Amino acid sequence: MSEGLVIVGSVARDSVITAEGSRERVLGGSAAYASIAASFFCTPQLVGVVGNDFPFQDIERFNEKGIDLDGLKIDDGRPTFFWKGEYSADFTHRKTLEIALNSFESFDPHLTPDQKNVGCLFLANISPKLQLSVLRQFTKKPFVVGDTIDLWIQQDRSTLLDVIRMADLWVVNESEVRLLTGDTSLYKAGRKLLDMGCRRLIVKRGEHGATLFQDNHYFSLPAYPTLDIKDPTGAGDVFAGALIGFLASREKEPKSFELIKHGMVWGSVLASFVIEDFSCNRLFEINFNDIKGRCRTLLEMISVKNMLA
């Protein structure tokens, strides 16, 4: 199996309203956010579809980040997947105002022979049936990280659980893990999902960070403290994209508990940047030295000397 990373998900045009302003039809979608974040660590191959209205300048922005677009299809007959949403003043709640699947409605990813041979795969929050279809195209299973949303938990829970059991690491937010398990306690819900067949689990907790569950081990990481929040759209996808991008860059190493912890640090830092502006704009402005600087700060925040020595 060759080195590499495939990311399968949506590429969208978003209209976003927050207390800090609004933007119309900007770059969005789970695969877009994740691929841009992953590109700081490897050359991700993006598998998705856009429509006849997708701006050429956004294609150029992907190219500038070194993202492989062989798997990005263009539907000349329909526009790009569109989402419009509004956030509460404190960014804790999001309301969908408008959604149009457009070209994404008939999205049916078929991987190339090269894509079927990569070492890492990120299944963004597409339908579980599509996620399962992608997994079945591999002759030798890669290291799989997956994500989902409340919609698929409610509409196709059985297939979703099948996919979760096939994945190596699943990433959800607090409401999703509670909806999946029926348990209100975060730690009980995480433990229960492991008992249901999930191998490893990360629960994203927004401004409170993220928690990793594996066997009887736990690791809780705070979020990088960001004071200037403009748009939280895509932060979870950026977290997951940076995490899987880092793991893909260390592909010859075992995906140990410790290595995943390191990936979470990179993910938390990249997520702290993207929320500082609308869309993916901030990720196009920063460089790897900016990222390393925040990593050092975050590591200092969580460092504790052994008090029992």
Q: How confident is the model at residue 115 (pLDDT cuts 50, 70, 90)?
A: very high
Distances (CA, A) of 54 to 11, 47, 66, 78, 169: 9, 15, 19, 10, 32
pTM: 0.95
Q: For 290-304, how does the pLDDT look when each residue is reduced to its tens digit (9 = 90+)?
A: 999 999 999 999 988
**In sequence order, what are the residues at sequence separation of 6 or more whose Cβ sits closer than 8 angstroms to the Cβ of residue 14?**
23, 25, 26, 27, 28, 29, 82, 83, 84, 85, 233, 279
Indicate the class that CATH gives domain 5-302: alpha beta
**Phi, then psi, of 45 in degrees rounded to 5:** -105, 115
Pairwise pLDDT comparison (264 vs 149), residue with the higher score: 264
**In sequence order, what are the residues at sequence separation of 6 or more whose Cβ sits closer than 8 angstroms to the Cβ of residue 116?**
137, 138, 139
Sorted by where each begins, the domain ranges of the chain are 5-302
- Residue 122: name the closest of 219, 25, 245 by CA: 245
Q: 205: buried, middle or exposed (CB in 10 Å: 19+, 13-18, 0-12)?
A: middle
Q: What is the mean pLDDT of residues 139-144?
A: 92
- Is the pLDDT confidence value at 7 over 90? yes
Task: Report the half-sphere exposure of 242 (CA within 13 A, side-chain side).
Answer: 25
- Is the pLDDT confidence value at 239 over 50? yes
SS3 at position 256: coil
- Is the pLDDT confidence value at 5 over 60? yes
What is the structure's pLDDT at 2? 52
Residue pair 8/261 in contact (Cβ under 8 Å)? The answer is no
- Cα angle vertex 227, ends 224, 232, to 5°? 75
Q: For 186-206, how does the pLDDT look when each residue is reduced to its tens digit (9 = 90+)?
A: 999 999 999 999 999 999 998
Q: For 73-104, how does the pLDDT look when each residue is reduced to its tens digit (9 = 90+)?
A: 999 999 999 999 999 999 988 999 999 999 99
What is the structure's pLDDT at 1? 41
Q: For 245-258, how does the pLDDT look when each residue is reduced to its tens digit (9 = 90+)?
A: 999 999 788 999 99
d(CA 45, CA 66): 9
Percentage of residues of the chain with pLDDT beyond 90: 91
